[in-house]
Amino acid sequence: MKTFNVPEFYRSPIISKIKQYRKVQDPRKKDNSPTLLDFGPVQYLIARHFGFCYGVENAIEISFKALEENPGKRIFLLSQMIHNPDVNRDLSERGVLFLQDTHGEQLIPFESLTSDDVVIIPAFGAPLHVIDLLEAKNIKTASYNTTCPFVERVWKKSESIGKDDFTIIIHGKHNHEETRSTFSRSDRHSRAIIVRDLDEARLLAEYIKGSRPAEQFAIDFNGKYSASLDLSKDLQRVGVINQTTMLATETQEIADFFKSVMMDKYGAENIALHFADTRDTLCYATNENQDATYGLLASEADLAIVVGGYNSSNTSHLVELCERKFPTYFISSEKEIADRYTIHHFDYPNKKHLTSTGYLPERQPVRIILTSGASCPDSVIEGVIHKINSFYEGIRPVEETLRALN
């Protein structure tokens, strides 16, 4: 796989050593058990896969390249490049301006842009109407387009099934940048509906079966469907794609559910006419990180710490998985760890910050599950390790701990 020129301050000697060790020991990526990092009083169970993915490293390289190649020019990001506060702050401090916030609300009017400006397209992509607007201003969006290739793969799938006249069901969060970008393309090729979870899938199924009044649809799916959608005919042929960072098992469950709905209505012998049997369109990193988290669940530990941006979808699903077994704390960096007794963390479902005390047990060794989302720099994970280690006496030196891996 291609390697990228990522700034050194995002890297970590500790994490690089762990990843290299696992790469040598498990080149085919068959072993999802965690790596034990034993510092004596504290033991960390590090996920087999975590941190920067291909798409994120690609986006970072292109963004820093844009800064290097355009001294003196105004450089804009359409929105957050990735969902990590440290990376976005780094770019902002280097002079990059943000045109929109993460929800698509305008921060700087498009009218102020000129053909001399540089606009970076984020890793999530951009809705087609925005691309058209920028191109009309003679801004060459292809020059610094950091769209993840795995997101583009989903777009190709939506185009393919849309051209076969299937209505496209998108499993995703309707206000997420990636889902908005995917919806715009699905809407152009066919009709599209966004479902957040299995509950919304079941709700949509009532319209497919005709058991819910059509006039209620606009209320139930407000802002989540194509204006051209005709309930009387456009729910007879459907296919499922997804936001690449959703929970893989949930996407599969939703796809299987809609397939069963269409089989019940039209018969198993006619299913190919009514359901586009798309393969899973999650990215490899989302799959690997989630599989590695299931590997963590097979371990015994006192708590789990998941690190990433609080608006990061893929990170939120790692939190969701860890919470099935462990007391879990979702933090953005080591700065959220106040001291030995207090930690500030994020409640993703309710979108609120929490403060907990007594998160570290008194006994030793303390065993901590540690992982991060695909947009979290390794240096941040190392920062968490050093911060927690600082609370204990008798911590083994890093060099000794890493030697024990071999």
Q: How many CB atoms lie within 10 A of CB 353?
A: 10
- How many residues does the structure list for the chain? 406
Q: Which two tokens stand for residue 200?
A: 């919304």
Calpha distance 375→193 (Å, rounded): 27
3-state secondary structure (DSSP) of residue 122: coil
- 178 catalytic? Reply is yes
Task: Write down the catalytic residue from 178, 200, 288, 382.
Answer: 178
Q: How many CB atoms lie within 10 A of CB 269?
A: 8
Beta pairing, strands 303-307 & 366-372: parallel
- Which residue bears the tokens 């999802």? 32
Calpha distance 29→14 (Å, rounded): 20
Phi/psi of residue 331, nearest 5 degrees? -125, 155
Alpha carbon of 238 to those of 9, 172, 370: distances in Å? 46, 16, 39
Half-sphere exposure of 294 (CA within 13 A, CB side): 10
| Catalytic machinery residues | 178
